Amino acid sequence: MNITKENINELNATITVKIEKNDYEATVNETLKDYRKKVNMPGFRPGKVPAGLVKKMYGKAILADEVNKMLSNNLSKYLVDEKLNILGEPLPNEEKQATIDWDKDEDFEFIFDVAMAPEIEVKLDKRKKFAYYNIEVDDEMVNKQVESYTSRFGENVVSEVAGEKDTLRGDFVQLDAEGNELADGITAEKVIIAIDLMKDEAIRNEAIGKKAGDVLVFDPVKAYESKHEVGHMLNISHEEAEKIEGNFKFTIAEVLTFKAAELNEDLFKKAFGDDTEVKTEEEFRAKLKEELAGQFVQSSDYKFALDSRDALVEKIGMELPEEFLKRWLKATNNELTDEQIDTEFDGFMKDLRWQLIKDRIVRDNEIKIDEADVKEVAKQMAAYQFSQYGMHNVPDEHLENYAGHILGNEEERRRVTQKALDDKVLETIKSKVALEEKAISFDEFNKLLEN
Amino acid sequence: MNILIKPIVTEKMTAQGESLNRYGFIVRRDANKQQIKKAVEALYDVNVAAVNTMVYGGKNKSRYTKSGVISGRTNSFKKAVVTLAEGEAIDFYSNI
């Protein structure tokens, strides 16, 4: 076994691996012996097949297998031992690699191309300035949020006279052409109809101002301009709904007005759980503002991550062995066509540069990820998911459970670990460079993001 | 006629071939050890260390069938067990 490295230039090198007969002989013989015991061949009892025959049939495959195994093991060991920082994976050299004759050759020589990661330096100091956007929460947003809370917990209240936005509850009875009730017509009881959803203005105006007990005669298909909707309203099948026409008599049983919830302790309790400390409207607004600000911090961080990444990638120039990387991409992703590689190559290079910079930062600052970090991130993710369903105060043990569930999945776990690392790197960048804090409104921030 | 009539391919001989480097042949009745040695060396391109020979006598065999007793006799033959020099081997399956 003999591994040598030859540098072509700073970024490219070849690694030659020589495997000699006595390197593999023992293991190959061992495997053959093992095979002999198991192999099943007609004409022989199991385990009684002559060694020569087994060797003839399986020897080449076993040899190739063993040599291959030895090769990959030793190559990766070599890469680790020599602390070589390579990009991608070693690829067989297409020009120098001699063809291998498994029948005759006893010593094998493999030549690989490798791409070396360039040595880069990431200097983070206060001389570098990065913009950090603080999104301002204005009153309008808080108002909107308050409104959404009050309407979410609002309810329908019976009122006297129907207004523009009210709903009516009553019974439908089908009428014939002369305006008499049809004996076998369609009827529906306790139907709720919304006045502001009526498309026909004349009918809508007629409905406004009605009281409980009043009768409204109209063509529901004309009013709502949708047979499908009317079908649901009258609780009949789609086929029947297609056929209905003519007027219906609607006897109003009650008029319902939607009333938004009042800003009082009841509402606060409904919104934030029974043991909330929010007692007054000011506190409620403050709390909402805080929540919004909390959401925006994530957006700010996200923007900062993008910006700092772009800036660092641009600033820290490095040369990469593009030729080799293209070859590697092609070799590892069979389904990619040349065109796809060409178009996506720039994005890939950017990712790679960022990855290298990130690795460097991790090394320079001795950032380490341990189990607790990963768990913390998983818990945050769990909490975020729960809060999306409107559950804000999820008990810790639930979160723990859910986080454990997330980490149980191998792929998720890798993602979470990656995220934990990214977060730490970002924090490091944030603490090392000078931050230029800028206040900005939400709309403008969105515009920035779009660019 | 050839000195070597056919090799003996049995489990017993295979086992001996692998552990003791011995190979068995059925040989002409009147062949002597020197002739066998030469014949093996010429045919398989190996060096022979020793030759042991033995003559098996034929046996009477009779079988009872519906149409009476059938009786016959198995052949007698000379068997040679050839020990090769160390490190050498004969591959009886080379043409598979």
B66: closest CA of chain A, how far (Å)? 32
Q: Which residues contact A409 (CB under 8 A, 6 or more apart)?
A: none
Ranges of residues in chain B with a pLDDT under 70 are 96
Q: Please tell me the total count of domains within chain B.
A: 1
- Residue B62 belongs to a domain with what CATH number? 3.30.70.330
Nearest to A421 by CA among A379, A364, A359: A359
* Backbone phi and psi for residue A38, each to the nearest 5 degrees, phi listed first: -100, -30
The DSSP line for A259-304 is: EPPPSSHHHHHHHH-TT----SHHHHHHHHHHHHHHHHHHHHHHHH
Q: Is residue B95 part of a domain?
A: no
The ipTM of this complex is 0.74
Contact A52 B92 (CB under 8 A): yes
Contacts of A43 in chain B (CB under 8 A): none
* Backbone phi and psi for residue B89, each to the nearest 5 degrees, phi listed first: -155, 155
For B19, the closest chain A residue by CA position comes to A51
Contacts of A51 in chain B (CB under 8 A): 18
Domains of chain A, each with CATH number or no CATH:
2-116 (3.30.70.1050), 129-143+269-450 (1.10.3120), 155-259 (3.10.50.30)
A49-74 tens-digit pLDDT: 888 888 888 888 888 888 888 888 88
Q: How many CA atoms within 13 Å lie on the side-chain side of A40?
A: 0
| Whole-number pLDDT of residue B76 | 95
A276-325 tens-digit pLDDT: 666 677 777 777 777 777 777 777 777 777 777 777 777 777 777 777 77
| pLDDT tier at A392, thresholds 50, 70, 90 | low
End-to-end Cα spacing for chain A:
56
- Torsion on CA atoms A147, A150, A155, A159, rounded to nearest 10: -60
Q: Is residue B94 part of a domain?
A: no
Q: Give the Cα separation of A178 and A398 in Å (integer).
A: 65
Task: Name residue A131's amino acid.
Answer: A
Average pLDDT, chain A: 77
| Highest mean pLDDT of the ranges A73-82, A266-275, B12-21 | B12-21
| Whole-number pLDDT of residue A451 | 65
- pLDDT of A275 > 70? The answer is no
Contact B11 A48 (CB under 8 A): yes
B15: containing domain: 4-84
Distances in whole angstroms, Cα of residue A111 to Cα of each of A12, A17, A25: 13, 6, 21
Contact B92 A50 (CB under 8 A): yes
